[in-house]
Structure 1
Amino acid sequence: MKQFYTILLGLLCSFQLHAQKTDSLKVSRPGAAGQLNIIQPHGVVTDGFNYWDDEFSGHWSGIHLGLNGFTNEDYSMYPEEEHGFLDVNLLRSTVLDLNLIQFSKGLQRTRNTIGLVSGLGLQLQTYFLDKKTSIEKVGNRIEPIEQFYDSKQKSKLSSAYLTIPLLVEFQVPVKHYGNRAYLAIGVVAAKRMSTHTKVKYRENNKKEKLKTPDDFYMHDFRLSGMVRLGYRFINVYASYDLQPLFVDEKGPELYPFSVGIALFSF
């Protein structure tokens, strides 16, 4: 009898062990191809929702319109009665910038608020002369010439330039990541492509114009300091030439400047 209970107890223990073995779950580790990706909060922030990963984008390209004139004027090489012969009508003297190409490069590793901006543009510059005068090359310098046709005649000096900027731009998000105020400072190099004077007048009730192309002893290359700033749809700029308009001793010493706004940005 004791043997019977011993055998029965052994069978029960064996059955219990077998039941535990067959009912136990085996968790197999999936291979590399089927491995589950565990999403960690840090990975989401750095890989999926980190706004700073966006590329830096500056503010150069667009269509800009401004006013330009001269400052720091020196006519000491001319008789006193000829001083100011290149005085301009500031409100009619305009500059149009077509900045069609832009390159931007961020300077930070973990942010995108500071960067370099460059590109290529075309600048059309016009000075409306306040007096009824124009200019011409006489000998080794420019001289004023009076061309009086009627009381409503218009005289202007126009030039076209290719421009290449090199600006450092600082951006500050305001209330929203995409709304940024910015400040850009730097220089703009320009190559003069063409220059001409034009006098418009009426003769025998017909509109006439006298156009004279020349270089007028103006520099072929120009370097200007520039400041640009803006926020959203408001973008303004100012520039100041770092050299006079004319070659030394070839004309009055005049330093061009301009101020303007962006009509369109892209």
Structure 2
Amino acid sequence: MKKITFYAFVLLMSFTVIPAEAQEKSTSEKIEALERERQAIISEEKEALKEEVEKINLRYENKEIDWEEAEELKSEAAKSTARRIQERTATIDRQLAQLRKDGNVEEEWEDHDEEDDDDWYHKSRYSRTTTHLVLAAGFNNALLDGQSLNDSDFKAGGSRFFEIGLAWRTRVFERSNWLRFRYGFSFQFNGLKPTDNRYFVQDGELVELQEYPLDLEKSKFRMDNLVFPMHFEFGPSEKIESERSVWFSTRNKLKVGLGGYAGFNLGERQKLRYEEDGENVKKKLKGDYNTNDFIYGLSGYLGWGAAAVYVKYDLNPIFKDPNPELHNVSVGLRFDVN
């Protein structure tokens, strides 16, 4: 009787344990299959997003769109991808949750490497520095201390300046864009047109404006400088976030820049044009003109978006001693092109 009872107990246990093991194995296999399906969907969407970003980058390289528009398009593409992944994996996630609950299986967290941490639709990145082409042009003049434009020796409308250069803009604070530091290099071309039929004449170290013996159609003195501007820029901006990156747009925003520049005088020249014996004569006069080699001054701008009113003033005199301290001053428009 005891033997019969023992064999019956063993037989009962075999019917109880084996199906439980089989059930546990079946649940584990189902979870693994669903996980593989889920990962395949994510990989497929990520690959599609990568191709879309490459197309946007190509449009930016071909100058069809600017940097800010490219980043906005990437942001929208990343958000759309995240939504599609969530929609396509929603059913799988529910099935996984139910299987884990029924089988009393805890969710496992796998170790991942640094590359996984940089998965660009899971992590945010703050781009702090951008590059811009700087273009500026406007009216130029030169004044003695205490002199006004009305008393200037140069034509207010005819004297002009032009500037071209590269500037980098870096946020001072990593996660705030209210204060930016701008720095770079520029070539400045400052032109002066003397009034009353005059031109510059050098006599030793002294440089003076003298009347030309013939009627001048054009008299222009130009100084070419290489300078390194530095400005602190203030103003609001719009924070734009995507799953991959975070950046700040100043499009259609007020901006104020205060700073200065320092650099070197690359050279100067004088152009004269007049008529003599019925023929048009053009002269290009090159010389030292006893100008200062080191250039430094103050500058600032106030604008909206990419355009701004721009003012610069040379603290160094144009000509060295014993000449009067004549300072170059410019007012115009400045454009920061992405």
The interval holding the TM-score normalised by the smaller chain is 0.7 to 0.9
Equivalent-residue separation in structure 1 for 2:3 and 2:335 (angstroms): 106
SS in 1 for 2:129: coil
2:301 matches 1:228? yes
- CA displacement at 1:166 relative to structure 2: 2.1
- CA displacement at 1:48 relative to structure 2: 4.4
Equivalent-residue separation in structure 1 for 2:298 and 2:184 (angstroms): 16
Q: How does 1:1-266 map to 2 (within 5 A)?
A: 8=8, 11-12=11-12, 14-25=14-25, 27=28, 48=122, 50=124, 53-57=126-130, 59=132, 61-73=133-145, 87-99=153-165, 101-112=166-177, 114-150=179-215, 153-174=217-238, 177-180=248-251, 181=253, 182-250=255-323, 252-262=324-334, 265-266=337-338
> What amino acid is the match of 2:161?
V
Equivalent-residue separation in structure 2 for 1:66 and 1:199 (angstroms): 22
> What amino acid is the match of 2:334?
A
User: Going by fraction, where is strand more abundant, 1 or 2?
Assistant: 1
Deviations 1:173-208 (A, max 9, x none): 158643443332221113111112222211233211
Equivalent-residue separation in structure 2 for 1:58 and 1:9 (angstroms): 81
Deviations 1:67-103 (A, max 9, x none): 111234469xxxxxxxx6x61111111111121x334
SS in 2 for 1:259: strand
Kept after mapping to 1: 8 A contact 2:273/2:283: yes
Equivalent-residue separation in structure 2 for 1:243 and 1:257 (angstroms): 11
Equivalent-residue separation in structure 2 for 1:221 and 1:145 (angstroms): 26
Equivalent-residue separation in structure 1 for 2:205 and 2:236 (angstroms): 51
> What amino acid is the match of 1:20?
A
Equivalent-residue separation in structure 1 for 2:195 and 2:206 (angstroms): 21
- CA displacement at 1:219 relative to structure 2: 0.9
Instruction: Indicate the residue corresponding to 1:80 in structure 2.
Output: none
- CA displacement at 1:45 relative to structure 2: 11
Q: Aligned in 2, Cα 1:255/1:195: closer, same or farther, shift over 3 Å?
A: same
State the structure with bigger RCO (CA 8 A, min sep 6), 1 or 2.
Answer: 1
Q: Aligned in 2, Cα 1:175/1:3: closer, same or farther, shift over 3 Å?
A: closer
Equivalent-residue separation in structure 2 for 1:23 and 1:74 (angstroms): 96
- CA displacement at 1:257 relative to structure 2: 1.1
Deviates more, 1:162-171 or 1:220-229: 162-171
What 5-or-longer segments of structure 1 have no aligned partner?
Answer: 76-83
- RMSD, matched Cα: 3.7
Q: Aligned in 2, Cα 1:186/1:46: closer, same or farther, shift over 3 Å?
A: farther
TM-score by length of 2: 0.60
User: Going by fraction, where is helix more abundant, 1 or 2?
Assistant: 2
Q: Aligned in 2, Cα 1:123/1:183: closer, same or farther, shift over 3 Å?
A: same
Equivalent-residue separation in structure 2 for 1:258 and 1:198 (angstroms): 20
Q: Aligned in 2, Cα 1:131/1:178: closer, same or farther, shift over 3 Å?
A: same
Percent identity, please.
22
Equivalent-residue separation in structure 2 for 1:49 and 1:4 (angstroms): 66
